[in-house]
Structure 1
Amino acid sequence: MIDLKDYDNAVIKFRKSLNYNLLPVLSWDFYAPNYEVIKQTEEDSVALLRLVSDNSWNFDTNILDTKLKSDKNIVVVTDAQLNIVFATKNMWNMSQYYPEEIIGKSPKMFQGELTSTSSLKIVSDAVKKREPFEVTVINYRKDGSTYNCWIQGLPVFDNKGEVVNFIAFEKEVA
């Protein structure tokens, strides 16, 4: 026990010899840019899984995880009438629209004068046939500037084989 008492006294003496400069927590530079991205991705993942469950999707949810987390795609889900019902929070990074601003609208809101009609025909034909598609289109941001948007679209069937949604995985490409 005496050994521990000597040790404790030595630690106390050492700590008293240190010269501390105390700083308020507000002055510390806490910066974690990736934390917000991870948090938003997890929130989006939970919301997508809820959508899968609510609509009885017959869909491999591992694809969602890969496309959202690993590939960092933007995910847009429409109903069978092509009204947007869900968009991931990273939508802002590409289009300058927050998900709340586009819910209930048609994906046509991103199209404009420079959007290729032949690309749109590929999408339209695939949707009518209830088939997957992959296309790159010129889309428009909220401020009117353009960007090349790679889109991989898939029809989503329920457990009865009916199309209940369409899902698009999107990325801005050069």
Structure 2
Amino acid sequence: MNNFRQYEDAIAMYHNGLNIKKAPVYCWDFHSDFLAAVKNFFLDLNKLNSIASQNKWIQNNWDLKNSLKEEVIIVTDTKLKILFASHNIEKMNGYVEAEVLGKSPKMFQGEATNQITSNEIRKAIIDQQPFEKIVMNYKKNGEVYACLIKAFPVFNIKGKLSHYIAFEKAA
């Protein structure tokens, strides 16, 4: 027992002699934010897979897992009403999914949005063609930002137009 006490005293003396600067931890939010991001990633992936399987989408070569980490994914019906928006939308423009569901993606556009680009997008949608454009959009707080949109028509296994999917990120 005596040897153990000498060992503890030696360790205490060693640690007391160290010159360590302490920095207080003010907040553990970084851990909470990480867990929320992981949870949201899986929620979004499950919703997308559910929409795809329910509507019998044909196989596409989209890398949804990586896209969900880096981009906002928006799915609309054929009438361009938003059915799904990934959680990343809040970081990009301040909206949460509940605020955009049932609305048109035009809700992000305004005076600074180029009408020529909007017309090109409209034509691609009518022709059921994919497109890639940079659009001037508006955040929830009114701030303008450039948004790179890569959008695709989505067809079901019968070849009928089912949805549109867009992969977006600030340009």
**Which category describes the TM-score, using the shorter chain as reference length?**
0.7 to 0.9
Distance 2:111 2:154 in 1: 30
Q: Which residue in 1 is equivalent to 2:63? A: 63
Tell which deviates more after alignment, 110-119 or 27-36: 27-36
Which one of 129, 132, 136 corresponds to residue 130 of structure 2? 132
Q: 1:29 Cα shift?
A: 5.3
Q: How does 1:1-174 map to 2 (within 5 A)?
A: 13=4, 17=8, 30=28, 31-32=30-31, 33-60=33-60, 62-69=62-69, 72-173=70-171
Distance 2:61 2:131 in 1: 19
Structure 1 unmatched ranges of 5 or more: 1-8, 20-26
| RMSD between aligned residues | 2.4
Distance 1:10 1:114, change over 3 A: farther
Partner of 1:43, secondary structure, is helix
Assess if the C-alpha contact under 8 Å between 1:49 and 1:61 holds in 2: no
Q: 1:46 Cα shift?
A: 1.0
Aligned residue-pair number: 155
Partner of 1:122, secondary structure, is helix
Distance 1:119 1:62 in 2: 24
TM-score of the superposed pair, with normalisation by structure 1: 0.80
State, as a whole percentage, how many aligned pairs show the same letter: 34
Partner of 1:35, secondary structure, is helix
Distance 1:107 1:28 in 2: 39
Assess if the C-alpha contact under 8 Å between 1:59 and 1:156 holds in 2: no
Instruction: Report runs of 4+ in structure 1 exceeding 4 Å deviation.
Output: 16-19
Give the partner amino acid of 2:107.
M
TM-score of the superposed pair, with normalisation by structure 2: 0.81
